[in-house]
Amino acid sequence: MRTHKSSISKYLLFFAALILLIMFLMGYKNPENNVGFSKAPTTHTVTIFRMKFNPANLTVKKGDTVVWINKDFVPHDVTEELSHKWTSKPFNKGEKWSKVINEDIEYFCNLHKVMKGTITLAK
Amino acid sequence: MNTKIKITLIMTCVLLLSIPNMMWGQETPKLNDSEIASVAVVANQIDIDYAKMAIKRSKNKEVIDFANRMMEDHNAVIQQAVALVTKLGVTPKDNEVSQSLLKQSKETLKKLKKTKKQDFDKTYIDNEVAYHKAVIDAVNGLLIPQAKNAELKNLLEAVVPALEAHLGHAKMARSKISK
């Protein structure tokens, strides 16, 4: 009985180690989308094109940087939506603006108020 | 709102909403790329003229901000169109659709000018909602299908999301000023 329990424990331990290894390798290979494992801050890109933020909803780690790139021929901005506590100010085609993310954010374009996006910190 | 204003507003909306029908009508106008470029420039210039009127007459921040946005964005579209026709060596050519749009815009501008101060914001924003709906229909149903040059077609397709964003913005402004 004891031997049987011991081999189950060993099996579970091996399985857990395998999962950790896989997660580590996935995080190492794809730092752009890594939101849970690596401690090093990474940079994410949001493209503004045809009056949309793409991706409109992004999950990042605390301390990661998000870069917004304007690919439209009209100016846009990135503004905190609820109280307008920060804004990028307008930037034109080909220009970019970045922000280090330390909290969940709901934002919009204050020039084209129907354009909206969110950034969520990974749990 | 008095009866005269109501009638004016209804007539304006009916006129604007009828633009696509007038274009499609029994005889759909056949436009070449030079004529399509002209329609694009004229349609954008018309909204800039409405915006100038709003900036002059309105005291409402929401309305003035919206009008400034229309001026800047529609100017940007005109710049894109001018740059493209210059690159293609095409001269925008006046045509029946451009003339029809201009004729109707003159009537609308007259009405906007005559509208009483207290009714101006709502009249302007209602017109913006109707005008953007009509232009979106015209671009999707007439200009894009008839454009031959791929770059012109691409520019028209890129303009539609901007017009749709303006329409959404105009509806938001309308709900705020009517509170």
Closest CB from B76, B166, B168 relative to A73: B76
pLDDT in 10s for each residue of chain B, 179 residues: 455 545 444 444 444 445 554 444 557 889 999 999 999 999 999 999 999 999 999 999 999 999 999 999 999 999 999 999 999 998 999 999 999 999 999 999 999 999 999 999 999 999 999 999 999 999 999 999 999 999 999 999 999 999 999 999 999 999 998 76
Q: B132 at the A interface (CB within 8 A)?
A: no
Say what the ipTM of the complex is.
Answer: 0.80
DSSP state of B28: P
Burial class of residue A80, CB neighbours in 10 A (0-12, 13-18, 19+): middle
- How many Å apart are CA A40 and CA A22, to the nearest integer? 18
pLDDT the model gives residue B22: 47
Closest CB from B72, B77, B161 relative to A51: B161
Q: A2 at the B interface (CB within 8 A)?
A: no
All domains in chain A, ordered by first residue? 4-33 (no CATH), 43-121 (2.60.40.420)
Pairing outcome for strands A57-60 and A116-121: parallel
pLDDT the model gives residue A8: 66
Whether omega for the bond prior to residue A31 falls within 30 degrees of 0, making it cis, is no
pLDDT the model gives residue A90: 97
The mean pLDDT of A9-34, rounded to a whole number, is: 60
Tokens of A55: 């991706």
pLDDT the model gives residue A10: 73
Number of cross-chain residue pairs from A and B with Cβ atoms under 8 Å apart: 33
- How many Å apart are CA B76 and CA B79, to the nearest integer? 5
Closest CB from B76, B79, B172 relative to A113: B172
Determine how many CB atoms are found less than 10 A away from the CB of residue A116: 15
Instruction: Quick: pLDDT tens for A52-71.
Output: 999 999 999 999 999 999 99
pLDDT the model gives residue A120: 98
